[in-house]
Structure 1
Amino acid sequence: MSSANVWVLLGLGIAGIILMSRRFKKAIKEDFGAFIERLQLLPPPQPAPPKAPHPLTGLSFAVGDIFDICGYVTGFGSSVWASTHEAATQTSPVVSALVEGGAVCVGKTVVDEMAYSISGENKHFDTPTNPLAPSRMPGGSSSGSAVAVAAGLVDFSLGTDTAGGVRIPGAFCGILGFRPSHGVVSGMGIVPVSPSLDAVGWFAKDPSILRRVGHVLLQVPYAESRRPRSVVIADDSFELVKTSADQITQVVVRSTEKLYGRQVIRHINLGEYLLSNVPSLKRFQNKNTGSGESKISSLKAFSEAMLFLQRNEFKNNHLEWIDSHKADVSPTILSDVYGTSDATDECLALCQSIRNEARNAFTALLKDDGILVIPTAPGPPPKLGSKEITCGDYRSRCFSLLAIAGMSGCCQVTVPIGSHEKCPLAVSFVARHGGDRFLLDTVHTMYASLQEQASTAEKCKPSTNAISQEENAEIAKEKGNIAYKEKQWPKAISFYSEAIKLSGKNATYYSNRAAAYLELGSFLQAEADCSTAIGLDKKNVKAYLRRGTAREMLGYYKESMEDFRYALVLEPTNRTANLAVNRLKKLFQ
């Protein structure tokens, strides 16, 4: 074969690879990365008249890759788990009930690794794209199921909720997410996470569909809906929200007044109520406050009890498998499994007492026709790749909200109510354990009014110059990122400088400009920018890495070593920092 022919074939091969790559990216983009596997489970034929058609006729749905489907491996959010387990021999009864109810199952969706996170990010699979906020996290653990509904790919979807796995992605993706009362929907044919907390949940955009699915899974007949006689707003829970708390409560209050009158609205300090009505909670609170430490809040103690149960039961279920596959399990899971001591019988008994007493306390508070109003999450979805969702303060506020239904076993629904700075906002309604149909009916009745009030609230929001400046700064930063990727370093520096002028307290802008300065060999400027970034954000790993590089190039080896070591404190598995430390050690030998 002549050299000319070889080059022609090589060129065709490369062109083919590029074309296939583009087609693959397009396919991923079209389903927003929600699906792991496409399949089709068809419902039985419709019954002959005069019998009514199946209740879910005409609807499509997807299920998280934690539900068994006969003939398919249940991946549990991990490619390694999938490779070490056999295909399921039976389909989960929950999935079967929906198919028999007339719906078509079209595929399995991404879940967080071992369903053990609320971010939606997964090292084994590409993170599903949040359709309402593409630069933000979709939430987990049922990330793919939420994204599939939010993107309009299916009418509804199934997920599981242990400590927020349905409620958080529902809130982050701007759709309805329902966690039923604990134990009312079968957990058979589902990989367990923490059985005393696990609940099958579902997502929908349409409250009518949410309710139709509920009637099938809860096996409750259609009946006339009841009006709430009390709408209880947990004021202290809204103090955990750093933005838009007033906007959320006003939407709920105005909608409630319009539909049911102001007399049904009540306010409560939920933490104080729990402390007075859950005796075991006070014992747990005292037990988990060390000598000389300030007492943790009752809501935080409630969440700590939930996380204690979750960790212990997760370890009991999966420690043996994790022991055999440590290298393939995320550091977060390993930290929880190996970084905590085994639970004592006394602690487990105390947590179980909290659960039982809390269920009774909420039944007394809400009775058969009361709704508790709380935020779903402590704020808008964090940015992709950010450390916000793993920081102690965010997690504490988040799980203090999620534990309310998680520990009591109550049913909860997250409802979208507009947006804040182009990110979805949500509120949650909670009903007593067993009040699932009442809660679904209430959401169905209130939904249109809530959306109307949310729209009115957004139109009335003042547009301040400060917000405009921040938006312009972000635009300038993104232009800088594009220039940087195109290796146009001076142009990138110009855009980052513009962003800094508009918003001078953003550490990322300085750190990004430092990266461009490094490419140009301007090490002093890079070091100065990184120092400013670190002054603004002491956990900015990239700033430490870039300052370490600049100082190494300037010959400040000791200071450089300190920066790389501090980066390792923040990210123990950071490969760049590890290599740099080993390289610098050789200079001192």
Structure 2
Amino acid sequence: MASSSAPNLWVLLGLSLAGIMLMAKKFTKKVIKADFGAFVNKFEILPPPQPAPPKAPHPLTGLTFAVSDLFDINGYVTGFGHPDWERTHEAASQTSAVVSALVDGGATCVGKTVVDEMSFGISGENRHYGAPTNPVAPARIPGGSCSGAAVAVAAKLVDFSLGVDTVGGVRQPAGHCGVFGFRPSYGAVSHVGIVPVSTSFDTVGWFAVDPSILRRVGQVLLQVPLAVQRNPRNVIIADDCFQLSKVPVDQLTQVVIRSTESLFGKQVLKHENLSDYIASKVPSLKALDSKKSNGDVKFSSLRSLANMMQLIRRNEFNHNHFEWINSVKPAIDPLISALVHERMELAEKDLENFRSVKGELRSALNSLLKDDGVIVIPTVSSPPPKLGAKELLSEDYLLNEFSLTGLASISGCCQVTIPLGLYENYPVSVSFIARHGGDRFLLDTLNIMHASLQKNADEAGKSKSSSDVVTKEASADMAKEKGNSAFKAKNWQNAIKFYTDAIKLNSSNATYFNNRAAAYLEVGSFIQAEADCSKAIDLDKKNVKAYLRRGTAREMLGYYKEAIEDFRYALILEPTNKRAAASADRLTKLFQ
């Protein structure tokens, strides 16, 4: 009796321990730091006393802010996202010019926030300081490089925060954390007192949860004269850019379209294929290697810009920091190590071509936008991926992200990230881009449109549940079309993958099973092909192609009698079908 119960006791004990471990793991996941892991240092820099009346109070009175650990603060070492950098550098002897301007403007600085390691990533995950917790989606990345600054605002720990946007360091985490993010025109805000990453792209930007605060900060930092607000007369939806987004187009563009029409009229709206426009207006781009456009001609210009941006960023980063890296040999994330440990020197002709592309792109966008236009694009290509997801390492993901952020980074135009609520419980956003120097106009446009955008985004969210089926069916059909393209290109495995995606989204469509069966036949997976055809026939009893393909699969499996029945039934449905007649006759002569 004792011996027979012993194994059961061990099983129960094992299950109990497993349960405890699972509960502990579950409990650990729920523990979130009080500051969401956003800060590396906390302190207070208080503003000067308010001026006596009748002088106006400071413009930022009562606001608190944090700064990314790229800005010098007197008495603190600027950490640059790496403990070895902090260990080998002295404390700053003065405070960054922009930080001083904000404090003088009445705001209180309360600390420094986490950045990606050496500000070189885009996920916001720093293995030395941890990944700040995305308050809206705790299991998802906050986005980089200025992850902590975005999280501090999203968690309402501060009213606004400062970051440095090189290739998306402000815009991307703003999109992933559901806050406003502003990248001003290149050169519009002082760079004095910040650690350089890539000097051709580095731009001081800022985050806020309230567009009015975003604008107030802009009034202090941009130092542009007050002027009458101007309505946009040219709102351009970049249709090809929205094809890069995994969020259904209507979820994003319809909010903007409805707001624009209600505020300014339909005549203001335009649609543009931005990649084609850039290709026609930026001749120097043709000299770039566009082979990495993944064979998709539609996005070749955008992806060529993305490739160029990554190349220049790496070159300039090495120029700024290679000597330190080579002498200190810091422990660097393997994903970054390969890019920064090898010295890179671009030829002068490549640098000259880059300068030409930059100038031509700025001129092309300024010409398209003039003084009263904005381009609308998705801020990021997808909702925030999971922490540590393999997707973050894929070339496709990086190219899509940089294809969207490269427009403003390379042209130097200003861009604002605008949150539009949630899609499947994750933050989504769009971005408005205005011409270089159009910062005040862009902030004014956001201020004018914000209430309407918010209203339409809320209505879109409320109606989402009733349109989920339609959205899934549309997405399934898009996956099927991708499968058809892969099939035509004889890329059978990719075709199977896309058809499988379509089936997951809509398992009641016979065509998806039938098409996947055709791909399975091409790779010799006859059992799978037969099963898919049977499912297609269950869904559509008159599907001639399904009978023909199942007959073929059964013939290859040696089920000749069943194959003959399939071909004959196809003939009943379609008496003139020559393939069905020939196959039925051939098998009948051989096996009956």
* Structure-1-length-normalised TM-score: 0.73
Unaligned runs of 5+ in 1: 1-23, 469-503, 507-589
2:39 to 23, 35, 57: 35
Match of 1:186 in 2: 190
1:437 corresponding residue in structure 2: 440
User: Partners in 2 of 1:297 and 1:445 — Cα distance?
Assistant: 35
1:151 equivalent in alignment to 2:149: no
Aligned residue among 392, 414, 419 for 1:416: 419
Residue type of the alignment partner of 1:88: A
Distance of 2:341 and 2:146 partners within structure 1: 25
The structure 2 residue matched to 1:52, chosen from 39, 56, 64, is 56
Shift of 1:327: 4.8
User: Residues 449-464 of structure 1 correspond to what in structure 2 (within 5 A)?
Assistant: 449-462=452-465
Structure 1 position 305, deviation (Å): 1.3
Kept in 2, the 8 Å contact 1:160–1:166? The answer is yes
The answer to whether the aligner puts 1:346 opposite 2:327 as a matched pair is: no
Q: Larger Cα Rg: Structure 1 or Structure 2?
A: 2
Give the Cα separation in 1 of the matches to 2:431 and 2:111. 28
Structure 1 equivalent of residue 241 of structure 2 = 237
Counterpart residue identity of residue 60, structure 1: T
Distance 1:465 1:450, change over 3 A: closer
The structure-2 alpha-carbon separation of the partners of 1:465 and 1:437, relative to structure 1 and needing over 3 Å to count, comes to closer
Distance (Å, rounded) in 2 between the aligned partners of 1:309 and 1:379: 25
Aligned residues: 446
Q: Per-residue displacement from partner, 1:435-455 (whole Å, max 9, x unpaired)?
A: 000000000111111111011
Q: 3-state DSSP class of the match of 1:328?
A: coil
Cα displacement (A) at 1:341: 4.7
Structure 1 residue aligned with 2:537: none
Structure-2 separation of matches of 1:201 and 1:283: 31
Q: For 1:62, which of 63, 66, 80 is the aligned residue?
A: 66
Judge conservation of contact 1:112–1:140 (CA < 8 Å) in 2. Answer: yes
2:419–2:428 contact (8 Å) kept in structure 1: yes
Q: Which amino acid aligns with 1:414?
A: T
Supply the distance in 2 between the matched residues of 1:67 and 1:327 (Cα, whole angstroms).
21
Displacement, 1:458?
1.1
Gaps of 5+ in 2: 1-27, 473-502, 506-592
CA contact 1:171–1:425 (8 Å) conserved in 2: yes
Deviation at 1:361, TM superposition (A): 0.7
Counterparts in 2 of 1:71-470, with a 5 A limit? 71-284=75-288, 287-289=289-291, 297-338=300-341, 341-462=344-465
2-structure distance, mates of 1:92, 1:27:
35
Conserved 8 A contact 1:244-1:420: no
Deviation at 1:244, TM superposition (A): 2.2
* Identical residues among aligned pairs (%): 60
Distance 1:293 1:432, change over 3 A: closer
Hey, what's the Cα distance between the residues in 1 that align with 2:290 and 2:248?
Answer: 32
Return the alpha-carbon distance in structure 2 between the equivalents of residues 262 and 293 of structure 1.
Answer: 35
- SS of 1:242's equivalent in the other structure is coil
Q: Is the 8 A contact 2:322 2:341 kept in 1?
A: no
Q: 1:294 to 1:253 in 2, by over 3 A?
A: closer
SS in 2 for 1:202: strand
CA contact (8 A) 2:44 2:109 kept: yes
Q: What SS class does the counterpart of residue 312 from structure 1 fall into? A: helix
Q: Give the match's secondary structure for 1:177.
A: strand
Q: TM-score, normalised by structure 2?
A: 0.72
Cα deviation 1:128-179 (Å, max 9, x = unaligned): 0000111110001110000000000000000000000000000000000000
SS in 2 for 1:418: strand
Q: CA RMSD in A?
A: 2.4
1:466, 1:81 → 2: CA distance?
52
1:326–1:334: 8 Å Cα contact kept in structure 2?
A: no
Give yes or no for contact 1:55–1:212 (8 Å, CA) kept in 2. yes
- SS at 1:190 equivalent: coil
Q: How does 1:427-576 map to 2 (within 5 A)?
A: 427-462=430-465
Q: Is the 8 A contact 1:65 1:110 kept in 2?
A: yes
SS of structure 1 residue aligned to 2:433? strand
The residue type paired with residue 431 of structure 1 is: A
Cα 1:249–1:466, aligned 2, differ >3 Å: closer, same or farther? closer
Partner Cα distance (2:361, 2:316) in 1: 20
